[in-house]
């Protein structure tokens, strides 16, 4: 099937063709015709499947009719993070090049006054994070009573970040007769409840089983000692020894570890940037642009960057920490192997991570192979370095009898 067969307007088709696309992805092929008919759509698709175009293209076609009024936007797109919202704005700029639409991006870290002036002029499309959107509605600067199309993207990420109460409030502020396009990679019970409450007879579009990983990504577990020094040494060895290595996103569970790993790699001469939630919006976008433009080879980040970031050519994903939530594993490794390319996902595993790995394997319904020739060190072997370090310091392990304390 070609884009020309989906029912999109001529302006949209010309923009898609100018972008170099000819054939829609499965989620686009299935979702766009229903969206153009005005149906509610429940889209379940893993990251990297073309979800953004699946809602931006039909929205652009439908927005050719009518204009927005001051402070009353016609369409609303909710995203969990600033980066995702900024990417959707870029997509509208690319596919809406033949349209004269006013866009307003409402995210934190950007001047409130500039955003307010765009709303006051009349925005056809508002792209927002839930918190900043509610700031505007509570101040009376934004009315949602004119919303014709509501898009809720990355809904399971919204759940992880605690935004579901905000989403429920927003859904009650928009008209009951709106059209809703709802996208999620996984369907936990809370998300299912949300769809049953706020979607009206939706068409369910599922292009892969919820929480599956792409077949074109080679997944490998790499054993390591538990100490930070041992893990950082394992990480450096992986980067230096990786086959067909172009670049890598390295995921840590905590923001403070992002900085530690970033400084360590920089100290050892690697080309590296950092991305985490404490950075302001300008610093985040600078780090992302440097990685996208190959100015740095490595990007160390927290899960703020795990979902939806459109970096088209990432050869490797490295989990410095096994994720606490198994769903995050799916989203992290989805940063590679995009648009049909092959990718590699490496996860550093200590003995303490084995329960997390078991949960991940249960979720994705497959075993992940260990690095060739590698085995998890036995409990005694894993404890030996720690005992030696405690012995060298003359320290006493909690609960160890004082009279058995190793001497310096």
Which residue segments constitute the domains of the chain, with CATH numbers given?
3-206 (3.40.50.300), 217-385 (3.40.50.300)
**Is 388 a residue whose pLDDT tops 50?**
no
Q: Which residue has the higher pLDDT, 348 or 283?
A: 348
Neighbours of 183 (CB within 10 A): 24
Residue 378 is predicted with a pLDDT of 57
**Is 390 a residue whose pLDDT tops 50?**
no
**Is 37 a residue whose pLDDT tops 50?**
yes
Residue 377 is predicted with a pLDDT of 55
Nearest 10 degrees: CA dihedral of 187, 314, 324, 191? -20
Give one word for 400, left, alpha or beta, with left for phi > 0 and alpha for psi -120 to 50.
beta
Residue 308 is predicted with a pLDDT of 54
Q: Of all residues in the chain, what percent carry a pLDDT higher than 70?
A: 88
Residue 210 is predicted with a pLDDT of 55
pLDDT tens for 246-296 read: 999 999 998 889 999 999 999 999 999 998 877 777 788 888 889 989 999
DSSP letters for 106-134 = E-TTS-HHHHHHHHHH--SEEEE-HHHHH
Give mean pLDDT, residues 387-403: 42
pLDDT tens for 185-199 read: 888 888 999 999 999
Q: Which residue has the higher pLDDT, 50 or 267?
A: 267
**Is 395 a residue whose pLDDT tops 50?**
no
């Amino acid at each position: 099937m070609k884009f020309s067969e989906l029912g999109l307007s001529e302006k949209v088709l010309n923009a898609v063709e100018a972008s170099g696309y000819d054939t829609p992805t499965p989620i686009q092929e299935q979702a766009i015709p229903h969206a153009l008919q005005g149906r509610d759509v429940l889209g379940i698709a893993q990251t990297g499947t073309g979800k953004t175009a699946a809602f931006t293209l039909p929205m652009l076609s439908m927005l050719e009719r009518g204009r927005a009024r001051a402070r009353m936007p016609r369409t609303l797109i909710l995203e969990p993070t600033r980066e995702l919202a900024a990417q959707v704005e870029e997509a509208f700029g690319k596919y809406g090049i033949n349209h004269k639409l006013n866009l307003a991006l409402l995210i934190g870290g950007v001047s409130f006054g500039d955003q307010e002036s765009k709303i006051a002029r009349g925005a056809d499309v508002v792209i927002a994070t839930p918190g900043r959107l509610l700031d505007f509605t509570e101040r009376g600067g934004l009315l949602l009573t004119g919303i014709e199309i509501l898009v809720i993207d990355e809904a399971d990420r919204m759940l992880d970040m605690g935004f579901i109460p905000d989403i429920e409030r927003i859904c009650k502020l928009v008209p009951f007769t709106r059209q809703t396009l709802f996208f999620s990679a996984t369907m936990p019970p809370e998300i299912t409840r949300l769809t049953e409450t706020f979607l009206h007879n939706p068409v369910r579009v599922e292009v892969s089983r919820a929480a599956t990983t792409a077949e074109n990504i080679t997944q490998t577990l790499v054993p390591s000692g538990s100490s930070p020094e041992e893990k950082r040494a394992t990480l450096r060895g992986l980067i230096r020894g990786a086959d067909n290595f172009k670049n890598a996103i390295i995921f840590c569970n905590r923001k403070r570890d992002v900085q530690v790993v970033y400084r360590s790699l920089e100290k050892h001469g690697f080309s590296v940037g950092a991305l985490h939630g404490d950075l302001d919006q300008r610093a985040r976008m600078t780090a992302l642009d440097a990685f996208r433009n190959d100015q740095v080879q490595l990007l160390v980040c927290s899960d703020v960057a795990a979902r939806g970031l459109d970096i088209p050519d990432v050869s490797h994903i490295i989990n410095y920490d096994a994720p606490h939530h198994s769903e995050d594993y799916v989203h992290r490794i989805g940063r590679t192997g995009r648009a049909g390319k092959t990718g590699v996902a490496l996860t550093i595993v200590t003995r303490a991570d084995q329960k997390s790995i078991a949960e991940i394997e249960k979720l994705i319904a497959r075993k992940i192979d260990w690095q060739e020739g590698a085995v998890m060190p036995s409990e005694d072997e894993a404890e030996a370095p720690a005992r030696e370090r405690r012995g060298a310091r003359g320290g006493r392990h909690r609960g160890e009898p004082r009279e058995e304390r190793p001497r310096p």
